[in-house]
Amino acid sequence: MPLQFRRSCRIGALTISAFLLGGCAVGPNYQRPSAEAPPAYKETPENFKQAQPSDAMAKGKWWEVYGDPQLNALEEQIAVSNQSLKASQEQFLQARAALRIARAGYYPQLSVSASAAGYRQSQNKALFSPGETVTYPDYLLPVDVSYEPDVWGRVRRTVEGARSEVQASAADLANVQLSLQAELAMDYFQLRGLDSQKQLLDSTVDSYQKALELTESRFKGGIASAVDVAQAQTQLETTRAQDQDVEVQRAAFEHAIAVLIGKPPAQFSQPASPLSAPPPAIPPGLPSELLERRPDIAAAERRMQEANAQIGVAKAAYFPVFSITGGGGFETAAIGTLLNGPSGFWSLAGSAAELIIDGGQRRGVSEQARSAYRQSVDNYRQTTLSAFQEVEDNLAALRVLQQEAKTQEGAVAAAQHSLDLSNTRYKGGVANYLEVTTAQSAALGDEVTAVDILTRRVVASVLLIKALGGGWNAAQILNAAR
C-alpha cells in the first residue's frame, strides 16, 4: 500500500478521534421530576404499615398467596398461550430493534462493489489520435467509506431515547402481563363465587321441594289450604329459575378464562369449586415504594427520559454537520493486474454544512420536543396519582367489606332463626304459609348476599395486588435494552 495512502489514513483516523473526544451532547441531561407521595396510605390498617421482605406477594408468582392449585395452573398458561401478551412481546422486540438501528449511527458506513465493463471510442470524435486504442476493458474494485462524527451528540441522544423506549416497552409488557394475570384471577374467583351461589341454591331448591311436598300432604289432610300449596309452588319455581340463571353467568366467566389462557371456549371447562375461604392479608407497604413497584409508572418515567432526549436531538440541528468520506480500491484495464500496486487509487475528504435559513423549522421542532417532554411529566404525575387512588380504593373496599361480612353473618343467623320460628308456627297452625315464604325469601337473600360479599372481598384483594404492582420492580427493565 502506498506510503502516502497510509499517512492519509492515519490523519483521517486522528481527525475522527478528535471529533469523538471533543464532541458534546447538547440538550438537558435527564433528571427524574418529583412526584408527590404521601407518607402513608389513608386506609392502611395499623398492623400493615410496613411491608416485610418475606411477604409472599413480593415474589414473582403473586397468585400463589391464595394457595389454590387450580388458579396456579391457569396462571402459568397465560405466559405461554395468551395472544394479547404475545402481541405485546412483539412490540417490545420492535423497540429493541429500533435501538439497534439508532446505535448504527455510531459507526461509519462501508460499501464495496465490483464492476467490469468494456468501452469503444468513436474514431470520429474530436481530438482522436491515429493509433489510439479504440476498444478497451475496465475492471473496478472500489471501497467507499462515509462517516458523520457525533460532534453535538445527536446520535447519542437518539440512542438514549431509543434505550428509554425499550425499557418503557418492557414495562408496558410487564403491565399487560400483570393486567391479564389479575383479570384471570378475578374471573376465576367470581366463577367460584357463582359455584358457591349454585351450591346454596341447589340446597335451597331441595329444601323448598320438601316443603312443597309437606304442604301438599297437609292440604290433602285438610290442614293446609290451596293457597299454601300455590305459595310453596311459586317459591320453589322462582328459586329454581334463579338457580338456572347462575349457570349463564358461570358459563360467561368460564369462556373468559378459556380465552385468557389461549384456548377456544369449546375446549375448556372448569370444575365446580365453591368459594369458602376469605382473602389473605395483603401488606401494601409504603406509598414511596409504589413508584418502583408499578410497571405503568415505570413506563411513564422512561418515556419522560425519552422525551428529554428528543430535546437534545432537536437542539443538535442548530449546529453544523461534519462528515468524512473516503474511498479507495483498484482499477485496471487488464484483470491480471487488478490487485497490483499501480492499480490502486484512493480519496479522502471532509466537509461541514450549516443550515442558515429554515423558515423557523428547527425552532418549531425544538418547541415541540420541549412541549412533549412537559406532557410526559404531566402524564407521569397523573399515573402516580391514579396508582395511589387504586391502592386506597381497594384498601378501603377490603376494610369495609370485612366489616360488612361480619354484619352479614349476623343477618344470616337472624334470618335462619326467623325461618325456623315461622316453620314452627306454621306447623302448629298459628301462622299462614305467607309468613313462611317471606322468611324463606329473607333467609335466602341474606345467604346469597353473604356469598357475594365474600366474592367481592377476594376480588378486591386481587385488585389490590394489581394496584401494588404484583411484586414487580422497576429494576427488572434495566437490562431490557441490551
Confidence bin at 482 (pLDDT 50/70/90): confident
Q: What is the predicted pLDDT for the residue at 126?
A: 79
pLDDT for 431-456, tens place per residue? 888 999 999 999 999 999 999 999 99
Interval 103-114: pLDDT, tens: 999 999 999 999
Q: Give the pLDDT score at 272.
A: 94
| Predicted local distance difference test score (pLDDT) of residue 20 | 47
Cα separation, 374 vs 174, whole angstroms: 25
Residue 145 has pLDDT above 90, yes or no: yes
Structural domain boundaries in the chain: 31-107+150-319+362-477
Please say if the pLDDT value at position 16 is more than 60: no
Quick check: 46 pLDDT over 70?
no
Cα–Cα dist 430/422, whole Å: 9
Instruction: Check whether 51 has a pLDDT greater than 50.
Output: no
Contact by Cβ (8 Å): 326, 349: yes
Tens digit of each residue's pLDDT (9 = 90 or more) over 262-294:
999 999 999 999 999 999 999 888 898 999 999
Cell of 5: 495512502
**pLDDT band at residue 390 using 50, 70 and 90 as cut-offs:** very high
Q: How remote is the C-alpha of 420 from its chain's centroid?
A: 53
Contacts of residue 432, defined as CB under 8 A and 6 or more positions apart, other chains included, come to 227, 228, 426
Q: How far apart are CA 471 and CA 130, in angstroms?
A: 89
Indicate whether 233 pLDDT > 90: yes
Q: Render pLDDT for 53-86 as a digit per residue (tens, 0 to 9).
A: 334 444 579 999 999 999 999 999 998 889 999 9
CATH code for residues 31-107+150-319+362-477: 1.20.1600.10
The answer to which of 75-79, 229-233, 341-345, 414-418 has the lowest mean pLDDT is 341-345
Give the largest CA-CA distance in the chain: 142
Query: For position 10, what pLDDT does the model report?
Result: 53
Q: Write the secondary structure of 331-372 as one string of H (helix), E (strand) and C (coil).
A: EECCHHHCCCHHHEEEEEEEEEECCCCCCCHHHHHHHHHHHH
Closest Cα partner for 34 from 384, 296, 295, 473?
384
**Counting beta carbons within 10 angstroms of the beta carbon of residue 352, is it exposed (0 to 12), middle (13 to 18) or buried (19 or more)?**
exposed
Average pLDDT over residues 389-399: 95
